[in-house]
A and B are shown apart, each in its own frame.
Chain A
């Protein structure tokens, strides 16, 4: 377990001198391996640097496993990126723009992959690797790893939002949760039972995630006509689906069941609301389940509350039309300036094996992109919702794929926030005008 490896060093810094010496020793080893990286061309074991997003230590453990499996052909060392996906991108982009050769493998948030690919920051995926790493992988994860018709990253784990609900509330409201439900039904049920609907209304990426799921569920897309030329991008916000998405967003926000702080609600604060006595419905990632279990263990939540948790597929916008849940997660890119792209791709294949994805899912709570993982009994035991997650991933739609994602997402966040003041007639129009002007570089964002 990674935690066991890291603890002695952490404690060593503050407590016993013996452990401190151990810490110093570990530091020396790290330093030595860093030096080995510099001298990689001299015949030493090449060190692959893997830039990971923060997690519960799973990627570091997988790196150690793959280093062992490589039997001396390479070692993987991990470096942790900032917590926010946007900050991860900012750091990687700046370094890659300066041709940083120390970036071998990167954990990338899917919406930013087109930008990296278009800028030439990703080493091309070898044909045979592409074939192997997409086998049995859910469709949305393959789509999220693709740009301009080509696979540019290796699918690793795939996240999706589910509709979480309290079984007792749904029963009391008379909702049949074995069938897909609509947002209108949820609003009605929440008003009847006076419980919270958890949605992410904060002016951040989470808002774009929510909006994208609504417009895709209504049969539209944020970008109707894609292009690599920013001035040719046609937005679909003012389409019928776009207006419908704005209506649903406004209806939920003004339903009176979203709590007092919708305009600053993120994934964590909605999970807090769902854990409270007023919890009823919530759209959120699967992490809320282990979060609830941890709270029970810590004594801050009743076991009965978590037993009341249930999850189903994301709500529909229009009854009868299948919903398009959010798709997220992490895919692995290989740096274009890496000195060992072949080894790095070899390492990504090791990282994304079914076994490692199962491990990552069960210990870190991050769902696999490999559909065969969902047949693993251990996964089913740790995540009773695994079949729903798989179904959700198969229905999921990625956010708009464009090298100008920051502009598009930032523009949506600016105009649609706060969601309670959305005017379905005017807001889509305003957002379209802003984003188009920003893409033409005629306005600030």
Chain B
């Protein structure tokens, strides 16, 4: 806001000379304008997100099979009891968490390296480089999952013959026949596809690091590593956290790659996959909705703990203050 005259860092403190708390006419008008501008978007958001979430929660309280609507009955929270007492749910949670952890960690490192490359690249090749790095992100997830599956397939794939020199890889390696190798390929596909997303967010963060600070550090004799640790990283903490948050939320809902590659075999089912199987395959709308609601709660919990725990400020990341 244009009225900010306080030092940019530090907490929001009221100026000593601030007038008594009461809203002026101008502030009221501004608030009204704000609602008018944001109102339609809010209404649409309520319609397309709040309503389905409320409907799913309502459905989750029933024993309701799509092909047998007459026998729908209210069962309270018993669907949640069934899910939370089922080892399958906890296995799926573990698998989902594992995939999230691996992919987000690798993507952060890779994405940061790519962001540095893009940031330092010559102005003339920068647009080409950016487009090239972004291509995987533009590919539809199902298509990328099929591509990786075909590559690793024991009959049609080329990986087994090209990488036969690696220990543990030979023409009879069945990548989708074991838990570990399946997870490896699934993570690889996810990493390939979404690293560009994280690197773009980090590139925006890199661009925010003031050049003067870098120069000052250089003059003081700081090495590249010291400048990275003491200047660059602290100044882009907000961007890193936002990138991590978005990507973690995204990764926790992993579905397409698993659906295409293993269809849940070898205990590779994610939480989204469980929701799919109960709702779409079994047609148990009640039970499936309960799984979806639980997945939603976990995602909310992740978002909340990121924002509170790591003190991520979305407004700051956008450069608003």
Contacts and interface: CB of A to CB of B under 8 A. Distances in A.
A240 to B, nearest CB: 29
A444 B287 contact: yes
A442 B280 CA distance: 18
Contact of B174 (A118, A121, A263, A442): A263
Interface stretch (A89-97, A126-134, A290-298, A390-398): A89-97
Nearest to A202: B265
Q: Which of A97, A204, A406, A441 has the most CB of B within 10 A?
A: A441
A260 B67 contact: no
Given A264-B176, A406-B282, A444-B88, A204 B263 contact: yes
A410 interface: yes
B281 A264 contact: no
A94 B66 CA distance: 8
Contact of B88 (A262, A441, A443): A443
A443 B86 contact: yes
Contacts of B256: none
A119 B68 contact: yes
Nearest to B275: A444
Given A261-B177, A444-B274, A406 B281 contact: yes
Interface string B177-204: 1000000000000000000000000000
Interface in B261-293: 262-266, 274, 277-278, 280-284, 287, 291
B59 interface: no
Nearest to A442: B82
Nearest to A420: B177
Contacts of A353: none
B142 interface: no
Nearest to B287: A441
Contact of A441 (B69, B82, B89, B154): B82
Query: Top 5 nearest A-B pairs by Cβ distance?
Result: A260-B172, A119-B67, A203-B265, A261-B174, A263-B177
A254 B282 CA distance: 32
B283 A93 contact: yes
Name the interface size band of chain B: 20 to 34
Given A260-B174, A410-B277, 14 more contacts: A261-B174, A261-B177, A269-B154, A406-B282, A410-B281, A441-B82, A442-B82, A444-B83, A444-B89, A444-B274, A444-B287, A445-B88, A445-B281, A445-B282
A200 B91 CA distance: 26
Contact of B82 (A118, A119, A444): A444
Contacts of B226: none
B218 interface: no
B281 A86 contact: yes
Q: Which of A121, A261, A444 has the most CB of B within 10 A?
A: A444
A9 interface: no
Interface in A103-150: 115, 118-119, 121
Interface string A412-445: 0000011000000000000000000010011111
Contacts of A403: 67
Contact of B177 (A119, A410, A418): A418
A365 to B, nearest CB: 21
12 contacts: A97-B69, A203-B264, A260-B154, A262-B177, A264-B265, A406-B283, A438-B282, A441-B287, A443-B88, A444-B89, A445-B278, A445-B281
Given A90-B281, A272-B155, A444 B86 contact: yes
Nearest to A409: B281
B88 A417 contact: no
Nearest to A268: B155
A81 to B, nearest CB: 15
A204 B265 CA distance: 9
A93 B259 CA distance: 20
From B86, B177, B264, B278, residue with most partner A Cβ within 10 Å: B177
Given A93-B283, A263-B174, A203 B277 contact: no
Contacts of B281: 86, 90, 406, 410, 445
A118 B283 CA distance: 14
B211 to A, nearest CB: 50
Contacts of A61: none
Interface string A235-275: 00000000000000000000000001111100001001000
A184 interface: no
A203 B67 contact: no
Nearest to A115: B67
Contact of A93 (B67, B89, B262, B277): B67
A407 interface: yes
A344 to B, nearest CB: 21
A367 B264 CA distance: 32
Contacts of B67: 93, 97, 115, 118-119, 121, 403
A264 B282 contact: no
Nearest to A121: B67
A262 B284 CA distance: 31
A244 B116 CA distance: 63
A420 to B, nearest CB: 10
A269 B284 CA distance: 33
Contacts of B89: 444
Contact of B66 (A97, A203, A261): A97
Contacts of A203: 262-265
Contacts of B68: 119
A115 B283 CA distance: 11
A212 B67 CA distance: 25
A97 B279 CA distance: 13
A403 B69 CA distance: 14
Contacts of A94: 66, 280
Interface string B277-319: 1101111100100010000000000000000000000000000
Nearest to B290: A444
A445 B155 CA distance: 30
